[in-house]
């Protein structure tokens, strides 16, 4: 059995920089038509010039793959109308990390509802720039995402024409919030469709499954699966593929992030196939994002076949999601 996916899109990926970028960028560009590239480099992507320079570095590695990297800016409180107007032709998205979250976000937005943040949301709304948010509070780890939900509602209500993406949702609370306002959308990763906290820490600790937001309860995972398998029109695929060298995962102080880019489509095919929902995979990995973001992707077709595929133990120095496991689907051709 074969299926064709037209223009697969990854709406949230970390391509890093330097040696790591030279390994992982081609693994995304090979299989995806477009990717939305996160800005948390060291130092982060702060302005249009940074974004253009980063894009050029990515394109120098992916130039032969009919692939477009789309750039995001770091949300910071000194964004002005002038900066945003200049950025608008190069950047359709701005990524907001609350101050306490994720790699390289220390010192950023302390309150997503500050007067300054609201002023910037207003300008973004006017200019048609999409807001991506890593929606977690600084509370107890299992409650962080659910406790953030009122912030989404407040922003969505105050800025009805601002497109707001709830990134990498992991809870039933987020799934239930999605339809409360027409301008709220979401992305879902691969791993959050499969794993729960039991897989990460229920028995032996699995550092390669540790990511933020952390995987939650069975009912949370099932709510995400329901959204993805039904190809809910407000949900698109964002792998949040985040490569870390093996020694930074298998150590005290394990880095957060799951590397899934080169195996995402194959594992997604297995998930959708086993649920009898293969017909909805095209919408989840492409069509929904095309509609939400009003974009025209590069033309690329990935042909997947139902044939065993052993996920490599490593890509360079990075251990991928489900390393060494055999799955039902493999990539036959990309054209
Ligand atoms: Zn991320």
* Interval between CA 2 and ligand 1 midpoint (Å): 31
Q: Residues with catalytic annotation?
A: 240
pLDDT at 45: 87
Task: For residues 290 and 240, give the distance between their C-alpha atoms in angstroms, rounded to a whole number.
Answer: 18
* Interval between CA 211 and ligand 1 midpoint (Å): 9
Task: For residues 334 and 77, give the distance between their C-alpha atoms in angstroms, rounded to a whole number.
Answer: 42
| Environment class of 191 (CB within 10 Å of its CB; exposed 0-12, middle 13-18, buried 19+) | buried
What pTM does this model have?
0.95
Total Cβ atoms within 10 A of residue 333: 11
Supply the CATH classification number for the domain 2-334: 3.20.20.140
* Interval between CA 260 and ligand 1 midpoint (Å): 12
Task: Choose among 99, 101, 213: nearest CA to 146.
Answer: 213
Domain edges within the chain: 2-334
| Environment class of 213 (CB within 10 Å of its CB; exposed 0-12, middle 13-18, buried 19+) | buried
Q: H helices then E strands: how many in the chain? A: 12, 11
* Interval between CA 169 and ligand 1 midpoint (Å): 11
* Interval between CA 44 and ligand 1 midpoint (Å): 13
For the chain, 335 residues long, give each residue's pLDDT as a single digit of tens: 999 999 999 999 999 999 999 999 999 999 999 999 998 888 888 888 999 999 999 999 998 899 999 999 888 888 899 999 988 888 778 888 876 655 555 444 567 888 889 999 999 999 999 999 999 988 899 999 999 999 999 999 999 999 999 999 999 999 999 999 999 999 999 999 999 999 999 999 999 999 999 999 999 999 999 999 999 999 999 999 999 999 999 999 999 999 999 999 999 999 999 999 999 999 999 999 999 999 888 899 999 999 999 999 999 999 999 999 999 999 999 99
* Interval between CA 95 and ligand 1 midpoint (Å): 10
CA distances from 216 to 70, 107, 188, 209 (A): 30, 27, 13, 12
CA distances from 231 to 219, 282, 289, 315 (A): 18, 9, 11, 30
* Interval between CA 168 and ligand 1 midpoint (Å): 8
* Interval between CA 37 and ligand 1 midpoint (Å): 9
Torsion sign across C-alpha atoms 213, 5, 273, 330: negative
């Amino acid at each position: 059995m074969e299926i064709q996916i037209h223009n697969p899109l990854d709406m949230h990926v970390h391509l890093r920089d330097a040696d790591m970028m030279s390994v992982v960028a081609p693994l995304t560009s090979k299989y995806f038509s477009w990717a939305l590239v996160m800005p948390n480099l060291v130092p982060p992507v702060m302005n249009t010039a940074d974004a253009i320079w980063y894009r050029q570095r990515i394109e120098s590695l992916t130039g032969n793959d009919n692939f477009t990297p789309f750039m995001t800016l770091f949300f910071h409180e000194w964004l002005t109308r002038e900066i945003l107007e200049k950025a608008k032709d190069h950047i359709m998205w701005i990524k907001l990390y609350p101050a306490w979250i994720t790699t390289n976000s220390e010192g950023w937005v302390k309150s997503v509802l500050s007067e300054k943040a609201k002023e910037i949301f207003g300008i973004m709304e006017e200019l048609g720039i999409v807001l991506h948010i890593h929606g977690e509070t600084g509370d107890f780890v299992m409650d962080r995402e659910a406790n953030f939900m009122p912030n989404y509602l407040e922003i969505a209500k105050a800025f009805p024409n601002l497109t707001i993406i709830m990134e990498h949702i992991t809870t039933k609370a987020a799934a239930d919030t999605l339809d409360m306002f027409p301008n709220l959308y979401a992305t879902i990763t691969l791993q959050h469709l499969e794993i729960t906290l039991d897989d990460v820490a229920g028995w032996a600790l699995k550092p390669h499954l540790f990511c933020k937001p952390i995987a939650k309860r069975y009912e949370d995972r099932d709510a995400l699966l329901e959204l993805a398998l039904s190809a809910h029109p407000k949900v698109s695929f964002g792998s949040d593929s985040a490569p870390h060298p093996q020694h930074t995962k298998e150590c005290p102080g394990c880095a957060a992030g799951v590397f899934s880019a080169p195996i995402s489509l194959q594992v997604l095919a297995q998930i959708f196939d086993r649920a009898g929902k293969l017909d909805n995979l095209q919408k989840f990995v492409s069509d929904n994002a095309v509609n939400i973001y009003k974009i025209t992707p590069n033309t690329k077709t990935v042909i997947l076949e139902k044939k065993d595929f052993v996920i490599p133990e490593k890509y360079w120095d990075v251990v991928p999601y489900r390393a060494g496991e055999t799955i039902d689907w493999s990539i036959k051709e990309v054209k």
